[in-house]
A and B are shown apart, each in its own frame.
Chain A
C-alpha cells in the first residue's frame, strides 16, 4: 500500500497529465462562472471582443453561408425532382439550414478564425509575461482577458448563426430563382413553414453552447500556454482542434436531447 502512495505517477506520465488537464479545465470553467458575474464588469472590453468576434467574422460567414446554401440547394434539387417533390425544396432548405447547417458552419468557422486568434493572443501574452504584468499591476487578468472573451463568443456566435442562416437561405433562394421564378417572399415563407419555435430555440441553444466552448477552450489553451513561441503555436492549434472535436460531440448530444423533448 505504501508503495502505491509513494509512486511518482498513478498510471503513467501521459495519463496522469490527461486527468490533471481535465481537472484544470474544470477549475478554469468554475473560475469563469465565479469571476464573470462579479463586479467590476468590463463592459467596454466585452463589447470590443464582441466586435472582434462578430463584425470581423462577417465577411467570412457571409461568403461561406451563401455558398453552402447555394451548393446544398443545387445538389438537393435532382433527388427531389426524381420524386416529383421539387416544390419541397424551400422547406428542405429551411430545415437543413436552420436546424443543422447554420449552427455547425458558424461554429466551425469561428473555431478556426476566432478560436485560433484567442489561443495565439493569450498564449503570446502569457509567454511574454504580459499576463503577469497585469497581475502585478493589481489587475485581475482572468477577469479582464478570459471572462470578457468567453462572454463575447457566447453572445456573438448565436447572432452570427442567425445571420448565417438567413444568408444561406438567400444562397438557396438564388439557386431556386435561377431555375424557377419564385419570389423571395414565397421562398422564405415556404422555408419557415416547416420550422417550429423549438427548432429555432434548438439552433440558438446549440450556438450558445458552441460559442461558450470555443471561448473556454481557446482561452484555457492560451492562458496556460508554456514553452515560449512553440507554446503559442500549440495553443492556437489545440484551440481549433479541441473546439471542433467538442462541437461535434455536443452536436450529437444536443440533437438527441431535443429529439427526446420533441417526442415527449
Chain B
C-alpha cells in the first residue's frame, strides 16, 4: 500500500491552476477564494469534513458546475469560458471517478467501458474496442467480470470499473471523488494501490477528494486541507498535520481513532 516514489513531478508545468475561486448555493457560501495548482505527474489529496466543498471543487474543474467568481485553467484552457464543444474536448483529457461509481445500470461491464469509446472515437472498430476494454479491465484486475451487470458487483469492484471507465479514454488528469468512501479496510487498500498504479502506468496527475487520512497519506505527493471553503494548509501529509492548529489536530485524531 505504501506510496511508490518512482514517478517524476514537473513543478514547472501546472496542469490545473485555480485562482480566486468562489462558489455559493443560494445563501450558502461553499468555496471562499480557492487558490491551487496541480503539477504534472503529482497526486494531491484534498482533505476536509463533509460539506466543505471538496466535491464542488472538482465538479467546477470538469465544468459540471459554474463558479461565481474566479478562474480555472485546466491543461491550458480556461474552463469557465469554454463553449460546449471545447469543454467536451477538454473532458476527454480529464477522467472523473464518481463517489457512487455512477455505472450505467442498463449496461454490463463491457458496455460501460465501451460506451465512451463508441461515442467519442468515430472510426474505432469493434475489435479495437474489445481490445481496449479487456486491456483496461485487466489493469484494474477485473477482466473476469466483463459480462456482469453493475448490480452484480461489490462496492469495491464497482469503484474499480468506474475508474476503468475513465481510464479507457486515457486521460491526463484523474479526479477521484471519495474513492474509498463506504468500503471495508481491505478494499480501501486495493483502491489505494490502484490509484498509485494508475499514476505510474498512465502517468496521470490526480486530485483525490477524501476524508480518509489513510487514503490521503498513501496516495498523495501533496495534501491540501480544506476548511470552511478555504485551503488552510497545503504541503506533504506530514507537513500538513505537523501543527498545533486545533481544527487540523481534531481531524487527524478523529480519523485515526476511528
Contact = CB atoms under 8 A, between A and B. Distances in A.
Interface of A: 124-125, 128-130, 132-133, 135-140, 144
Given A124-B105, A128-B102, A130-B102, A136 B89 contact: no
A234 to B, nearest CB: 19
Contacts of B64: 132, 135-136
A253 to B, nearest CB: 35
Nearest to A132: B64
Nearest to A138: B88
Contacts of A137: 91, 115-116, 119-120, 165-166, 169
A139 B120 contact: yes
B119 to A, nearest CB: 5
B100 interface: yes
A44 to B, nearest CB: 10
Interface string B43-64: 0000000000000000100101
Interface string B76-98: 00000000100011011011101
B32 to A, nearest CB: 23
B116 A139 contact: yes
Given A128-B100, A133-B98, A139 B105 contact: no
Nearest to A44: B118
Contacts of A125: 104-105
A132 B99 CA distance: 12
B179 to A, nearest CB: 14
A133 B91 contact: no
Nearest to B122: A40
- Closest 10 CB pairs between A and B? A133-B102, A138-B88, A129-B102, A137-B116, A136-B96, A138-B91, A139-B119, A129-B98, A138-B92, A130-B102
Contacts of B165: 133, 137
14 contacts: A125-B104, A125-B105, A128-B105, A129-B100, A130-B102, A136-B62, A136-B91, A137-B115, A137-B166, A138-B88, A138-B91, A138-B92, A138-B120, A139-B116
A236 to B, nearest CB: 15
Interface of B: 59, 62, 64, 84, 88-89, 91-92, 94-96, 98-100, 102-105, 115-116, 119-120, 165-166, 169
User: Dominant SS at the A interface?
Assistant: helix
B104 A133 contact: yes
A138 B169 CA distance: 10
B211 to A, nearest CB: 19
A136 to B, nearest CB: 4
A133 B95 CA distance: 10
Contacts of A139: 115-116, 119-120
A138 B119 contact: yes
Contact of A138 (B59, B89, B103, B104): B89
B107 to A, nearest CB: 10
Given A124-B105, A137-B169, A132 B116 contact: no
A139 B120 CA distance: 8
A147 to B, nearest CB: 14
B120 A130 contact: no
| A129, A130, A133, A136 — most chain B CB neighbours (10 Å) | A136
Contacts of A136: 62, 64, 91, 94-96, 166
A2 to B, nearest CB: 20
B109 to A, nearest CB: 14
Contacts of A130: 102-105
Contacts of B89: 138
| A132, A133, A139 — most chain B CB neighbours (10 Å) | A133
Nearest to A129: B102
Contacts of A124: 105
Contacts of B84: 140
Contacts of B169: 137-138
Contacts of A133: 96, 98, 102-104, 165
B7 to A, nearest CB: 24
Nearest to B106: A121
B98 A132 contact: yes
A127 B82 CA distance: 26
B133 to A, nearest CB: 14
A29 to B, nearest CB: 19
A49 to B, nearest CB: 12
Nearest to B112: A133
A144 B95 CA distance: 20
A140 B89 CA distance: 12
A138 B89 CA distance: 7
Contacts of A138: 88-89, 91-92, 116, 119-120, 169
